Amino acid sequence: MIPDDALILDTLKLNFDAGGLLALNITLALIMFGVALDLRLADFREALTRPRHLLLGLLAQLVLLPALSYGLILLIQPTPSIALGMIMVAACPGGNTSNFMTHYARGDTATSVALTGISSSLSVLLTPFHLAFWGGLYAPATPLLKSVALDPARMGLTIALILIVPLALGMLLTTRRPAWASRLRTPMRRFSILAFGGFVVAALGANFGYFLDYIHVVFGVVLVHNSLAFAMGWLVGRVGRARPDGQRTLTIEVGIQNTGLGLVLAFDFFDGLGGMSFILAWWGIWHLLAGLAIATFWNRRPPAPAPA
């Protein structure tokens, strides 16, 4: 039996005006521009020298995480809006803070950077696909998907404008004006964390009464979902015989998702649907806390040397 307060989230629409949504879109684009300042073709070439890490990361993030999320949904049977929030999290590319956390955790940073760039580029096609495919498989969510008339082409265009275009511009600046990119890199990293945190706080602040009333509904779901994501990243690295630093990278890459993109899509295409927006907003806070805890633990323990 699903509690009544969880069912209310399916009809609840969070407050976030058009001006706030536009500002969130622009901020997310600037964040991705900042991420791109750390992306160079040399990073991709270096990552290709360890193709096992790259392939395992893409498998875990683009295939296994959505499937794992769907399996968890079948197990706990959440309300449709919460289920779609979980699928949206899994359908988003890797989060921009994963590169910093991987470096801090003494992981394979080049692979982390490459995975962020590749997953962000592929999200134009894969985010709408995963949302429509896995959401359509969960029968209770099907009416909700139909009621919002999800347009994969329009969603793909939105993702391209706020992710792919700034990603390309940032990489172009890094290639053509490396000195400028170097000066911008540190301020943009700080801006990324503060800006996303600010918008999560703003989104929750505008709906603080709702947040206090319903945080207990999504807290446990996010805790289990995010913990399983981190664990699956580690397990894929372990089973796939990645190097010790690669296992750290895969753990963080799968556990840190671009929930900022998810929030944009939730407000833009689902009118701030309550369960979905709360899952994304709380994931955005929780995965940073959990990721930093894991990275700090590993920072104090150098990875074992890679076997010859």
pLDDT digits (tens, 9 = 90+) for 199-209: 666 666 666 66
Region 186-191: mean pLDDT is 77
The predicted model scores a pTM of 0.83
Residue 150: pLDDT band (50, 70, 90) is low
More confident residue, 55 or 177: 55
pLDDT-wise least confident of 24-33, 70-79, 174-183, 214-223: 24-33
More confident residue, 155 or 78: 78
Region 119-147: mean pLDDT is 87
Region 286-292: mean pLDDT is 88
Residue 85: pLDDT band (50, 70, 90) is very high
The predicted structure's pLDDT at residue 193:
67
**What HEC string does the chain produce?**
CCCHHHHHCCCCECCCCHHHHHHHHHHHHHHHHHHHCCCCHHHHHHHHCCHHHHHHHHHHHHHHHHHHHHHHHHHHCCCHHHHHHHHHHHHCCECCCHHHHHHHCCCCHHHHHHHHHHHHHHHHHHHHHHHHHHHHHCHHHHHHHHHCCCCHHHHHHHHHHHHHHHHHHHHHHHHHCHHHHHHHHHHHHHHHHHHHHHHHHHHHHCCHHHHHHHHHHHHHHHHHHHHHHHHHHHHHHHHCCCCHHHHHHHHHHHHCECHHHHHHHHHHHCCCEHHHHHHHHHHHHHHHHHHHHHHHHHHCCCCCCCCC
More confident residue, 227 or 26: 227
Region 2-10: mean pLDDT is 60
Region 258-284: mean pLDDT is 83
Domains and CATH numbers, the chain: 15-299 (1.20.1530.20)
pLDDT-wise least confident of 30-39, 61-70, 160-169, 291-300: 30-39
More confident residue, 148 or 305: 305
